[in-house]
Structure 1
Amino acid sequence: MRIELVQLENIRSHVKSTVPFTRGFNCLVGGLGCGKSSVLYAIDFALFGDPLGRSYNYLLREDAETGKVTVQFSQNGKSYTISRGLKRRGKGISQDFDQLKLLEGEKLVASVKSEAVAEQLKAITGLDKDVFREIVWVRQERLKELLDAKPRERQKRLDELFGLSDYEKAWSNLAGYQREYEGEKRAYEKDPDVIGMEKLNMEYNQTAEEFSRLEIELQGIAKKLEEARKTLEEADLKLKELEEIRNLTEELKRKEAQLQVNLTNIEDASAGLAGKIEEKKNLIENFKQRLSTAENRLNPTRLGSRK
């Protein structure tokens, strides 16, 4: 948990203050009564809600009707904001639960009910009130008490905070379990059934290794089969294309044969026409010869008449 910002409104000497905290060490410096301790009391109040051995009168500014503390902190990379308020009611001062809110970013985690906020805050930070006040923030007089205490009293106090005696008791119990376990282990090591079990375990491990090897080989074969399937699909596609080309070629051959037949018919028809043309030529030539002969016969007659 790292505190990043504290805002105080009408808290002791603070009318409206904002105190930013940076990474590393932070030091509050100022004269007597300027509000250094008030910042620490405000943080404690925002986190846990009670006035730390004093009344709320100690926190709320004398001439103020309401007060508020807002603490921004980060935990595990997430940003949180907790706000608590105070309100004067007649002669007394109490928490203003309408201002009690715990946010994760802009998301409301808990509000209004102090128990719900405390539960969520502990779940987020892992801190409870006693540990925070004895370890994280130790007031000057309490720190002196802890340092001046006799070793046994200091140990007792630390044990109350952290439950050290529970750990020692658990460790002692574990020692007994450890001895029992080691005795059973030695007995099992001499048991022939256990020795046979070790052999079975060895065979099992070898079989498992062989199975793993075969599984890897099967994965390789499956990969090759997939590649072969893709190749077969590509070949099938090409075969279909070739089949289409073959069908087209057959169709072209059929058309070529038909054209050849048509060409032969045309050639035959042309030959017939050529014969007929030749006959006509011969006939015309014959007519020409006959005409020429007739003209020659007529020419002497014409010459005689002229004389």
Structure 2
Amino acid sequence: MIFTRLKLNNFKSHEHTVIPFDKGISVIVGENGAGKSTILEAISFALFKQHTGKKIDDLVRNNANSMSIELEFTSNNRDYKIVREKKSSLKSSLFKRTSSEGGYVHVCTGDKEVASEIRQILDIDSDLFLNAIYIRQGEIAELVDKTPAEKKQLIGKLLGIDSLEKAWKNLLPFITDYESQLAELNGKLYNSEELMENYKKKKDELESLKDRGHELEEQIDEVDGLLKEISENKRNMEREKEIYETQIKNLEIEEKTFAKLEDEKRMVQEELDKIREAEEEIDRLEKFVSKLDVYLDFEKSVTSIQKLKEDEKEIDDKLDSIAEQKEIVSNMKEGYNKYLSSDEEINKLSDQKNNLEKELATMAKLEKDKKELLQSIEDERNDIEKFFSKSKDKLDDYGLDQDILAKIDDF
């Protein structure tokens, strides 16, 4: 990271200050209170919002209503600019130059967003910056007058050792958990032979289930063939059923017609009886009336009788047709019964097919359980290998003797 330009407006003692940083080493010289440390604090504030005041308002120059800092720097051959402005509230923005001759383009706005981008660009955070790069005014001078214990504490603070001690304390629960996981993995190692035996048994069971599955698939194919054949027979029977039902309807219509004709026949018979009675009456009265009138009445009666005979013949023809329809219905009744029995057979085959499909689903679940078991064994084996690898690396880092490390490898 190389600073190229710093611009301060109403920042502490600097009213309007622009500092260009040339190539090479820059030295800031001035009397006490001239604002040398303020320049470094402005850089710290621009990068990480770190300052020595109790609040940000303490950074604003007296009798001023606003304050701003612009810091331009180069990192990884890219030019950046940070702008922090304090008016009613603090506004932070980050810009990046697109080319050597171009201007800056906006990257992000907001304290969290700018802080995140700065950490990614510089690959350091505020604590590392303060401990290793920038030491605040007075902290080195304070070290001279301290006792050895106080010097140790202050140096630890400057170098971040207290953070390391705190990190070590926070790490102890993880080490304990790590050791418990080690004991658990050692226990699993002793059970590996039992797991392999279970794996072999499961594998044998799976092979047996696969053979059974092939048999079930063949049976399902046979059942599917029978279902197709029965479905075809069912379709044929459904067509015959439709014909049969049509014949039944026709028969019902014919029966209604027959009943109607029976009524008409009865009425005709009654008319014939009346005609006979009339003929008898004519014969009795023939000697009392003129022959012409009797002849005319007789001719009408004959015509009526002929018409009634024609109606009787038509009725007999319809009765014959009804009898034929009854015979057809009787012949088709056997096929209809076969159709009903085929429905029962289809239901039985459907139940058989459902049972076979359930067995296949059970086999699929067992296959899935086998894969999960194999994956679990593989994961545990990988965990064990990672554990021994990490343990060896850690022990090597602690300077453990190579002979002992060799024994760990043997183990």
TM-score by length of 2: 0.38
Scaled by the length of structure 1, the TM-score of the pair is 0.49
